[in-house]
């Protein structure tokens, strides 16, 4: 039985449906991310789990206990808010110990657990400082220590890294993952950053218009998106309008002048489909040696990679290649483009890119 379970959970504000029939099972010790654009219902889902938003219909259980209508302070969950919500008049140690103080934990035990929590987030030498004396990353660590010190069954993270600059955010996301692995705390994180979700989660829930559209491991989510929306939202992709030229076990798809093989997914001749091809799956070869040729229109240097925009017979394509130190392709160059057949994904939910 799942440790945390949401069964057909919905949330309405008047006639407005914010979350629709969300069903989700989270295993103990799992790191799960709710990923989606603003307004998709991910934060509301987290708030219903926390008890800050009332469930309109459905049921939430934690370790077999029904918490659907339980008050937030009786759920025992650890929560890190986007703003960190630290008490400015308290020291770092006092902030971390606050939850234990409210639970009337004995002083010696409280001090011991506070020291352990600060050591866990590498702030054991900062206990006497105040939040205003810390950097953004350090304040984020204090908020995390405060949430973990009560030893919660579930840790809820609401966009915990969004206030950090890009470099620190990348550093902290891996540190967050390491801390979660060491503690083994079941963790649910809300984020709109697909790279963040894919890099540190065991599973990702992509939400759109209040619904979970795909729940999967990060690798499968990226390599096998189920819908047009997921293919675009989870990473960059090339979307190509195509038509099934031959159905059955030996299916064929026509995209521009190309005919490409397809796995049998119930396609029928004449069906419109959309093909998804990730930019990094495109392999540059000599002109005339690939599946088609393209003319470079624009290039961008990304440090470890080069990103190219190309004009091709199947439409504009985006290609990303590693920076191997050699001379890049220049605008106007003709480049042959190749890719493995098994990297082309068929999306049948929407015909047009």
Are residues 210 and 105 part of one domain? yes
Residue in the structure block whose two tokens are 């220049």: 330
Out of 229, 258, 290, a domain closes at 229
Are residues 250 and 289 part of one domain? yes
Note the pTM of the prediction, 2 decimals.
0.89
Average pLDDT over the chain, rounded to an integer: 92
Once rounded to an integer, what is the mean pLDDT over residues 323-337?
95
Once rounded to an integer, what is the mean pLDDT over residues 175-197?
93
Domain membership of residue 211 (yes or no) is: yes
Are residues 241 and 201 part of one domain? no
Task: Return the SS3 of 91.
Answer: coil
Position 252 scores a pLDDT of 87
Position 266 scores a pLDDT of 75
The residue segments making up the domain with residue 298 are 236-347
Are residues 247 and 219 part of one domain? no
Are residues 279 and 181 part of one domain? no
Position 350 scores a pLDDT of 47
Distances (CA, A) of 162 to 22, 31, 48, 143, 236: 25, 18, 21, 14, 21
Domain membership of residue 352 (yes or no) is: no
The number of distinct structural domains making up the chain is 2
Are residues 245 and 154 part of one domain? no
Once rounded to an integer, what is the mean pLDDT over residues 276-300?
96
CA–centroid distance for 236 within its chain: 14
Are residues 170 and 143 part of one domain? yes
């Amino acid at each position: 039985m799942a440790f945390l379970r949401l069964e057909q959970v919905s949330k309405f504000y008047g006639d407005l449906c914010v979350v629709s029939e969300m069903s989700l099972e989270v295993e103990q010790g799992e790191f799960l991310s709710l990923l989606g654009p603003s307004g998709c219902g991910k934060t509301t889902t987290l708030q219903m789990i926390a008890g800050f938003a009332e469930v309109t219909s459905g049921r939430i259980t934690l370790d077999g206990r029904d918490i659907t209508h339980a008050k937030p302070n009786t759920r025992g969950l650890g929560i890190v808010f986007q703003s960190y919500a630290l008490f400015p008049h308290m020291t770092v140690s006092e902030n971390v110990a606050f939850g234990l103080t409210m639970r009337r934990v004995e002083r010696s035990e409280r001090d011991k657990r506070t020291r352990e929590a600060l050591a866990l987030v590498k702030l054991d030498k900062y206990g006497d400082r105040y939040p205003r004396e810390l950097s953004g990353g350090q304040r984020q660590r204090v908020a995390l220590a405060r949430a973990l010190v009560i030893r919660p069954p579930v840790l809820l993270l609401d966009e915990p890294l969004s206030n950090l600059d890009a470099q620190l955010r990348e550093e902290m996301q891996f540190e967050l993952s390491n801390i979660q692995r060491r503690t083994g705390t079941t963790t649910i994180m809300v984020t709109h950053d697909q790279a963040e979700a894919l890099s540190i989660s065991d599973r990702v829930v992509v939400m759109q218009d209040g619904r979970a559209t795909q729940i999967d491991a990060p690798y499968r989510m990226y390599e096998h998106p189920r819908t047009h929306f997921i293919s675009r939202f989870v990473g960059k992709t090339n979307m190509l309008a195509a038509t099934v030229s031959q159905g059955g076990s030996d299916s064929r798809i026509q995209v521009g002048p190309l005919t490409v093989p397809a796995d049998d997914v119930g396609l029928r001749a004449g069906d419109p489909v959309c093909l998804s091809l990730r930019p990094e799956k495109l392999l540059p070869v000599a002109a005339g040696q690939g599946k088609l040729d393209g003319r470079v229109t624009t290039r961008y240097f990304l440090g470890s990679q080069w990103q190219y925009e190309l004009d091709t017979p199947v439409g504009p394509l985006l290609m990303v290649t590693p920076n191997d130190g050699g001379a890049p392709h220049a605008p106007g160059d003709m480049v042959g483009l190749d890719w493995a057949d098994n990297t082309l994904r068929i999306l049948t939910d929407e015909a047009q890119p």
